[in-house]
Amino acid sequence: MYSKTVIDHFTNPRNMGEMKDADAIGKVGNPTCGDLIWIYIKVKDDVITDVSFKTFGCAAAIATSSMITEITKGKTLKEAYQITRTDVAENLEGLPPIKMHCSNLSADGLHKAIQEYLRKTGRTVEDLK
């Protein structure tokens, strides 16, 4: 079953909604379950100052999207790029094994948004090292 934290983030998602003035957007989908996640980021001096999400998906996909926005805000691009699928699941006090792919989706969405931001500013993830 889901942890209390998963249920909390599913029933009361943080930072939900499209960001009209986002600096970059990461969109990912899972072709098997059909779920879709958009992660929006706002960046200043290579720090993620704001982050939000839009998710069409299961309870775990919504909870992981919400959690990733919480742990990403205020981090540098480099720190945020190091957030893994496991970090998201651990912050949610675990996910059922069958739902682990849902945390993959949100972490991949964040990484894609960061890649997109770097691309727009003429850089790649190699430049974060």
Count of beta carbons in the 10 Å neighbourhood of residue 74: 13
Tell me the CB-side half-sphere exposure of residue 18, using CA atoms within 13 A.
3
Q: Site for ligand FES (CB under 6 A): which residue of 13, 26, 57, 109? A: 57
Measured between alpha carbons, how far is 52 from 50 in angstroms, rounded to an integer? 7
Identified binder of ligand FES from the candidate list 6, 41, 61, 113, rule CB under 6 A? 61
Q: Is 60 in the site for ligand FES (CB under 6 A)?
A: yes
How far CA 39 is from CA of 1, 4, 86, 97, 106, in Å, comes to: 26, 24, 18, 23, 8
Choosing from 102, 110, 113, 118, the residue that interacts with ligand FES (CB under 6 A) is 102
Catalytic residue at 102? Answer: yes
Set 48, 58, 102, 113: catalytic member: 102
The residues that touch ligand FES, with contacts defined as CB under 6 A, are 30, 33, 35, 57-58, 60-61, 101-102, 105
Q: Which residues are catalytic?
A: 33, 102
